[in-house]
A and B are shown apart, each in its own frame.
Chain A
Amino acid sequence: DTEVTQTPKHLVMGMTNKKSLKCEQHMGHRAMYWYKQKAKKPPELMFVYSYEKLSINESVPSRFSPECPNSSLLNLHLHALQPEDSALYLCASSPTGSMTYEQYFGPGTRLTVT
Chain B
Amino acid sequence: ELKVEQNPLFLSMQEGKNYTIYCNYSTTSDRLYWYRQDPGKSLESLFVLLSNGAVKQEGRLMASLDTKARLSTLHITAAVHDLSATYFCAVNYGGSQGNLIFGKGTKLSVKP
Q: Which residues of A contact B (CB under 8 A)?
A: 31, 33, 41-45, 48, 50, 55-56, 90, 94, 96-97, 99-108, 110
Q: A100-B31, A102-B33, A102-B48 are in contact. Are A43 and B97 (CB under 8 A)?
A: no
Q: How far is the CB of B7 from chain A (nearest CB, A)?
A: 14
A-B pairs with CB below 8 Å: how many? 62
Contacts of A44 in B (CB 8 A): 102
Partner of B98, one of A43, A90, A103: A103
Q: Could you tell me which residues of chain B, from 82 to 112, have a CB within 8 Å of some CB in chain A?
A: 88, 92, 94, 96-105
A101 to B100, CA, bound (A): 10
Question: Given A41-B105, A43-B102, A100-B31, 10 more contacts at CB 8 Å?
Answer: A31-B97, A42-B103, A45-B101, A56-B97, A97-B96, A99-B50, A102-B48, A103-B98, A108-B42, A110-B40
**Smallest Cβ-Cβ distance to A101: which chain B residue:** B98
A44 to B105, CA, bound (A): 13
Q: A42-B105, A100-B50 are in contact. Are A48 and B41 (CB under 8 A)?
A: no
B78 within 8 A of A: no
**Smallest Cβ-Cβ distance to B44: which chain A residue:** A105
Query: Contact: B42 with A101, CB < 8 Å?
Result: no
Query: Contact: B94 with A56, CB < 8 Å?
Result: yes
Query: Contact: A48 with B99, CB < 8 Å?
Result: yes
Q: How far is the CB of B2 from chain A (nearest CB, A)?
A: 12
Q: How far is the CB of B8 from chain A (nearest CB, A)?
A: 15
Q: A42-B88, A56-B99 are in contact. Are A107 and B41 (CB under 8 A)?
A: yes
B45 within 8 A of A: yes
Q: A90-B42, A102-B33 are in contact. Are A41 and B50 (CB under 8 A)?
A: no
